[in-house]
Amino acid sequence: MKIKREDIRNVAIIAHVDHGKTTLVDQLLKQSGVFRENQEVQERVMDSNDIERERGITILSKNTAVYYKDTKINIIDTPGHADFGGEVERVLKMVDGVILLVDAFEGAMPQTKFVLKKALELDLHVIVCINKIDRPEARPNEVIDEVLELLMDLDASDEQLDCPFLYASAKAGHAVLDLKDTPEDMEPLFETILKYIPAPEGDPDADTQVLISTIDYNEYVGRIGVGKIENGSLSVNQEVLLVNHHDPEKHQRVKISKLYEFDGLNKVEVKTASVGSIVAISGIAEIHIGDTLCSPENPQPIPFQKISEPTISMNFMVNDSPLAGQEGKYVTSRHLRERLYRELNTDVSLRVEDTDTTECFKVSGRGELHLSVLIENMRREGYEFAVSKAEVLYKENERGQKLEPVELAYVDVPEEFSGTVIQKLSERKGELQGMSTASDGSVRLEFSIPARGLIGFRGEFLTSTKGTGILNTSFEGYIPYKGDLQYRKQGSLIAFEAGETVTYGLFSAQDRGTLFVGPGEKVYSGMVIGQNGKAEDIELNVCKTKHLTNTRSSSADEALKLTPPKILSLEQALEFIDRDELLEVTPKSLRIRKKILDPRERKRANLKK
């Protein structure tokens, strides 16, 4: 017999990037008394990894739980970036409702649409929370209309259209049901969750069924599976069967060695857990996302949607430049292979494949951001390696036609830059689908563009809109190949010989373009030291010193003025490199180089092309 667990609510917080999900979770934790009165709590406490804190984005979904009036509310904070959409799709299987957070000024954005669509398909109850209500340019009433329009576009049921709306400021820590109410705290939101989010239901006496939706990884205990108990109960030392809906062959007897529930930011060990609880299970080495833990008597796997396929790939290879092995701790192909395959433990949208050589691995992901976060993590752990330019993954249809991934790009720019952006995206095979003007005079453009047209575009986009443009993308599907693209209009400035850069050599080189190196830096033949103003590559000697004679003194050099070099960030470097170049990544440096270092060999290869 099915029962409802009235003492539990399971809810996910979904929204577009930067609309305040993690800040809202902070407030719910604070106001439910998870922290002591005098405890110091850092902001956005849920973003636990360094890169998440620095960039202010959420990469991995996180579980937490708070108590309100004897009811345990399990909350899942999800990422907003399209590159981490795979995370959001999965965690929605664990909850019975979502809080859709929408910025009171920006309104419904592409990622809002993506996550809401997934929630409606799973028939989840929605609470709409208009956040950042205290922004001076907030326009809550218009935003509500936008959200209702979006719900209608996505064919929401009458029940879903009748969802409650709240107005909140996550930063100030208050929510109200009506704009006329005096804001005090988050109580209206807690009350709405209890009232509108259905309690989880299941049969406590039936055979056990737990669907694993997320995998956590810990050096000491290995893989930890996180999921919701759909039916039956789980207890420590219980024998269960591991099965998978997409893999009928999988039948593995395992034993539950440790069981945890969430409480605030901690995992608490429990002996047993029943229907509706979100639990973490450790001690099963072969546990994967999408697996179901069942009773051995009646194994019934729970259906689970396939995880979105990767659209972009890069080659990760052993660094073989003349400066290799000087700065990294882990430099061999064995280290690289182990680390990349270990990443597969927790990241389901990633693919790693061996290639013809043992020195190189093909790594595929959801987008440039997805792969650059992996590169940044590895570099901080002391790995040294080289990566190639990102390429899109093509498919073929039944007629043998080549297909390529296409994205929907939404661009918000001040009116004076709209012409430039339309021109730049059209050059990259983009097609303008729609154009509208917002109340503050900015223009929103909607483009359908091949994914490869967006590779390396963000930097150029920010320059051409003077840093004021906002670009959001979401994956749309596959279309027939649209023809060749020219990526970069400017050539590279290449070092001619190995050595250390000298002011005298750099002074004569800086007239040729933008330099990426300053004086006293190590360079080698074939290393890219700057960007040429023209289309071709030029080799320069930046290590040459001045010949001294009786009349020429070395001190006359001091008058030479150098323009400061342009220091590229990891993203800029990944965008800059061309197909015949590699990015050398070490814990201390990022260097761009030609794949073929020898100038004569390089000329031969170009002639063959």
Q: What is the CATH number of the domain that holds 213?
A: 2.40.30.10
Residue 23 lies in a domain: yes
> pLDDT (tens digit, 9 = 90+) per residue, 28-74?
767 665 544 444 444 444 444 454 444 444 444 567 777 878 888 88
Q: Which of 294, 314, 339 is the last residue of a domain?
A: 294
**What is the distance between the alpha carbons of residues 451 and 441, in angstroms, rounded to a whole number?**
29
Q: Same domain for 181 and 241?
A: no
* Residues, the chain: 609
504-562 pLDDT per residue, tens: 888 888 888 888 888 888 888 889 988 888 878 888 888 877 766 656 555 555 567 88
- Domain match, 146 and 13 both: yes
Dihedral, CA atoms, 156, 160, 162, 167, nearest 10 degrees?
Answer: -110
Owning domain of residue 237: 203-294
Domains of the chain: total: 4
Residues in the chain, pLDDT under 70: 16-22, 29, 31-62, 79-89, 110-111, 218-219, 246, 264-265, 305-308, 439-440, 486-488, 547-559, 609
CA distances from 516 to 169, 364, 572 (A): 43, 29, 12
Please indicate, yes or no, if residue 302 is contained in any of the structural domains: no
Residue where one domain finishes, among candidates 201, 228, 249: 201
Say yes or no: 121 and 258 in one domain.
no
Query: Where among 201, 231, 260 does a domain terminate?
Result: 201
Structure tokens at 547: 């010949």
Tally Cβ neighbours within 10 Å of residue 21.
Answer: 27
Are 136 and 47 members of one domain? yes
- The C-alpha atoms of residue 389 and residue 149 are separated, in whole angstroms, by 40
pTM of the model: 0.72
Calculate the alpha carbon distances from 83 to 51, 80, 452, 455 in Å: 15, 9, 15, 14
Q: Around Cβ 173, how many Cβ atoms within 10 Å? A: 18
Whether residues 55 and 92 fall in one domain = yes
CATH number of residue 146's parent domain: 3.40.50.300
What's the one-letter identity of residue 495? A
Please tell me whether residues 131 and 153 are part of one structural domain: yes
Tell me, yes or no, whether 128 and 238 share the same domain.
Answer: no
Ranges assigned E (strand) in 32-70: 62-68
Residue 583, judged by CB atoms within 10 A of its CB (0-12, 13-18, 19+), counts as: buried
DSSP per position, 494-546: EE-SSEE--HHHHHHHGGGEEES--TT-EE-TTEEEEEESSSS-EEE--S--P
Model pLDDT, residue 76: 79
- CATH of residue 553's domain is 2.40.50.250
Structure tokens that stand for 208 in this block: 């056990």
Q: Do residues 209 and 164 share a domain?
A: no
CATH, residue 453: 3.30.70.240
Question: Within a domain: residue 379?
Answer: no
Q: Give domain status of residue 555, yes or no.
A: yes
Residue 422 sits in the same domain as residue 530: no
**Looking at the structure, do residues 262 and 137 belong to the same domain, yes or no?**
no
> Which amino acid appears at position 154 of this protein?
L
In a domain, 336, yes or no: no
Within-domain flag for 228: yes
Note the pLDDT of residue 18: 63
- Extract the tokens encoding 301: 């796997």
Nearest to 585 by CA among 339, 218, 257, 222: 339
For residue 585, report the phi and psi dihedrals to the nearest 5 degrees.
-115, 120
Residues 402, 507: one domain? no
Please tell me the predicted confidence (pLDDT) of residue 551.
60
144: three-class secondary structure by DSSP: helix
Q: Would 273 be classed as within a structural domain?
A: yes
Same domain, 415 and 506: no
Looking at residue 363, its pLDDT comes to 92
Answer yes or no: is 375 within a domain: no
Q: Residue 113 and residue 116: Cα distance in Å, rounded?
A: 5
pLDDT at 307: 66
- Please enumerate in sequence order all residues whose Cβ is within 8 A of that of 460, keeping only pairs 6 or more positions apart, or say none: 424
